Structure 1
């Protein structure tokens, strides 16, 4: 029953500032002719509890009036959206028509982000709803015909985008088919977004099938759509079909963009046809077709991957004669590959050439050079080169620091390596598990297992969960330094933390114990292994050899 107006006025204090929900209640009650002589004055005296009672009674009595009220508040979107949220917070079960009403308001005012947020919320709790999301389209279709089509398109576009963002591709595709069945066409940009994300997630065949059906949807592909299709066919290795897309563009009088040409060249290079990719690039340059500079980078990388270093280097120098300036990415591709093949002289020469042209180096190139030196066993040179790069003011990332830490550890300069860890922290760089593992290994090599253990504990304290590599390094260090029981305890800790020991773990312990002279402990550990494989036997044979037990090694072999 309604509480009388006089009783409300006598039992509640006057409230000066009226909340959005109260304003809604005033508008709603006035609109629906509730039996209050003066709704504004009387509701200004109602507290939060009684506001909810009034609203609760209103909603439960007639849900249709929720929709009518939202329509009434269309020109006040802040008020409408605020009250809509209040209804949800109070646990009211809103139907598709209520959602359709607020969606119309969001579309009318162009509140796209709030629309996306609302649809995402619906997707996440669809199982708990009394209706399916597709019912929302039916409710929206009951509006004015003039605005209905536009709203349906906007909602379908937003729904496709949200579904794709959360990885629900099947549902996103269903929306496309639903729009076709309902007689309207989604925006081409939504389809492009769906196609591109499908390709990036490896669902290339699905993307190709949708592309082929787009005309059946009544959609006209634009230049970006065609570019995405070229990318899909190139990823599949269907290079002839990619060429067919160019022909289709010509027939439809759509001019390919620079990215389309680069995408096709990249497809050729990815499939071992860098020579053809370069020929196509030269032909298009001759034909005055606008080419993105990245096309040169693609071809250079292609030749580098095919180990055709001379051809890659020739492109770098010849392109300048054609009026194109090489950039850091082209030099970076060449320098990295020369480092990988051990030609450090050439890599450093190219780096000097690049810097002399005013092209600033970066941490990716620096880490390639440092790694190349490390792989060549030039630990001292790694440390020296790192110092030079640092003095040049180049930003050095965690990967660069890790290479030099490893080099210093190999040189027995563990404390200097640890000092770099402190330096990283001073530069607001958070050390990762790789940095910690490198230093743990360095301490173990120096026999400072307790320092290694302390660093291991620090790593865990800082939120880094040790992986199997970290455990292996520490287990090997404990074993080599005669701490057999501690190594076995660490093995138990691994299993407790859900990290499964592998054959490397077992071999590190076996060989470590043998190096420490505890052959009997190594034999016991080996005999107690539940499953022995070739690597397990190899580890024990190697351990025997390390301990000069050659007869036992031969017998086990």
Structure 2
């Protein structure tokens, strides 16, 4: 088979996703032995790309590195690894959690006097940030890249900003963002979302809100995730009015809140006893086509228990079960316990067996609440009966 035809065959197998390690080695050996004309480096790169993308590529790192070394040692005979080859290998090192090895490959590349491009540097930055070597990444971004005549792009800045955010160094991340703007690179959606998220996590909600408005002023459209992060931040600071205001603004801009958005505000409302407002949000949520999840119901049930609205809590629990959403044991424990404290042991028991019929297995704490509830009412026969049911239900077959 002619050289170029064979290269097309190799490229086709690489792109098909069916290439295994054994065939890759055979293809590599044949390519390496091909002369006049020698195969293109891009064909070798396709082989490396296919190998590092395989799900089990971590198991074959020794083979992959060996193939790379063999290619490097045949300079003048076969094509030499180019910047793209090194980019693939350095990225692979990060993928298998060996970014230090990636830096060795980067050092080899630089010693050869080849010209690095921004894509190679971005791969190096990702590797450093994955190991939280952020100061080294900042040095490369702000000093080494300009010295070598490589202009960082938006991705370069975002990688480092994300790394600084992971380290909790918000101030430095903001400084890098400012420098980014000074070099003519406008922060994009990812830049803002990373910073807004970490600011909210650190309780810096005012600064997060400022960034949000700056983002909007630059014509960038926040998504549901960013709105939710901000609303959750407002709620945690007790700024419920701001959270509701943000919810209304979000809807006015054509974004539908999701279940996570609603849960954040409902939880904050329930914590200050505003269960009716929280319930109103539940109805609004359903009317917009959002399906409440187990957390939604748990938030409201716990809220109603806290305000001693046990009938509402019980009603919600039964509605939840009828909608095929099984409550978790924590939610069940809370409502059963509160009913028993209120002298409603019989209702608590009915609820317990209703949950049992629906596939929710009562735990020891649930039974204990009902047993103690009957005991406090002086209903000894019921106390013993539920105790025996507990033994049969929890310990049968042990």
Task: Check if 1:304 corresponds to 2:165.
Answer: yes
The structure whose RCO (Cα within 8 Å, separation 6+) is larger is 2
In 2, are the aligned partners of 1:153 and 1:187 still within 8 Å (CA)? no
Q: How far apart are the structure 2 equivalents of 1:378 and 1:343?
A: 13
- Cα gap change, 1:519/1:298 in structure 2, threshold over 3 Å: closer, same or farther? farther
**Secondary structure in 2 aligned to 1:281?**
helix
Count of residues in correspondence between the two structures: 361
User: Could you say which residue in structure 1 is the equivalent of 2:184?
Assistant: 323
Q: Give me the whole-angstrom Cα distance separating, in 1, the residues matched to 2:137 and 2:375.
A: 60
- Structure 1 residue 303: Cα displacement: 1.8
Which residue does 1:287 correspond to in 2? 148
Residue in 1 aligned with 2:349? 485
The Cα of 1:320 is off from its aligned counterpart by 1.7
Determine helix, strand or coil for the equivalent of 1:481. Answer: helix
| Equivalent residue runs for 1:96-495 within 5 Å | 153=10, 156-157=13-14, 161-162=17-18, 172-177=20-25, 179=27, 183=30, 188-198=45-55, 205-206=58-59, 208-215=61-68, 223-234=83-94, 238-249=98-109, 256-283=116-143, 284-414=145-275, 416-442=277-303, 444-445=305-306, 446-447=309-310, 448-460=312-324, 466=326, 470-482=328-340, 483-486=347-350, 488-489=352-353, 492=356
Q: Which structure 1 segments of 5+ residues have no match? A: 1-143, 164-171, 532-557
Aligned to 1:546: none
Residues 349 and 148 of structure 1: is their aligned pair in 2 closer, same or farther, counting only changes over 3 Å? closer
**Aligned partners of 2:192 and 2:215 also within 8 Å:** yes
Separation of aligned partners in 2, 1:381 and 1:511: 40
Aligned counterparts, 1:31-42, within 5 A: none
Does the 8 Å CA contact 1:441/1:474 hold for their aligned counterparts?
A: no
Change (3 A) 1:193 1:437: farther
TM-score (norm 2): 0.71
Aligned twin of 2:75: none
Judge conservation of contact 1:475–1:490 (CA < 8 Å) in 2: no
**What SS does the aligned partner of 2:222 have?**
coil
Query: 1:411–1:257: structure 2 CA closer, same or farther, 3 Å change rule?
Result: same
CA distance in 2, matches of 1:232, 1:220: 19
Contact map agreement 1:437 1:473 (CA 8 A) in 2: yes
State the shift of 1:382 in Å.
2.9
Could you say what secondary structure the match of 2:150 adopts?
Answer: coil
1:71-104 Cα shifts (integer Å, max 9, x gaps): xxxxxxxxxxxxxxxxxxxxxxxxxxxxxxxxxx
After superposition, what is the alpha-carbon deviation per residue over 1:44-93, rounded to whole angstroms, capped at 9, x for unaligned? Answer: xxxxxxxxxxxxxxxxxxxxxxxxxxxxxxxxxxxxxxxxxxxxxxxxxx
Q: Determine which structure has more spread, i.e. the larger CA radius of gyration.
A: 1
- Equivalents in 2 of 1:243, 1:456: separation in Å? 54
Q: What is the CA distance between 1:311 and its match in structure 2?
A: 1.2
The 1:428–1:225 alpha-carbon spacing in structure 2 relative to 1, beyond 3 Å, is: farther
Aligned CA RMSD, in angstroms, stands at 4.2
Change (3 A) 1:331 1:489: same
- Pick closer, same or farther for the CA change 1:389–1:423 going to 2, 3 Å: same
Q: 1:246 to 1:481 in 2, by over 3 A?
A: same
SS in 2 for 1:324: coil
Q: For residue 293 of structure 1, report the CA deviation from its aligned partner.
A: 0.7
Closer, same or farther: CA 358–149 of 1 in aligned 2, 3 Å: closer
What CA distance in whole angstroms lies between the structure 2 residues aligned with 1:287 and 1:188?
25
Instruction: Please tell me whether the aligned partners of residues 414 and 439 of structure 1 are also in contact (alpha carbons under 8 angstroms).
Output: yes
Q: Displacement, 1:333?
A: 1.8
Q: Deviations over 1:372-413 (max 9, x none)?
A: 223334445433432233334445333212212323344545
Structure 2 alignment gaps of length 5 or more: 33-42, 72-77, 341-346
Deviations 1:129-161 (A, max 9, x none): xxxxxxxxxxxxxxx9999957964774466x1
Q: How far does residue 195 in structure 1 lie from its aligned partner after superposition?
A: 0.5
* 1:309 Cα offset (Å): 1.9
Distance in 2 separating the partners of 1:352 and 1:516:
58
Deviations 1:446-485, CA, capped at 9 Å, x for gaps: 321342133323431xxx5x3xx63421342233123432
Q: What SS does structure 1 have at the residue aligned with 2:328?
A: helix
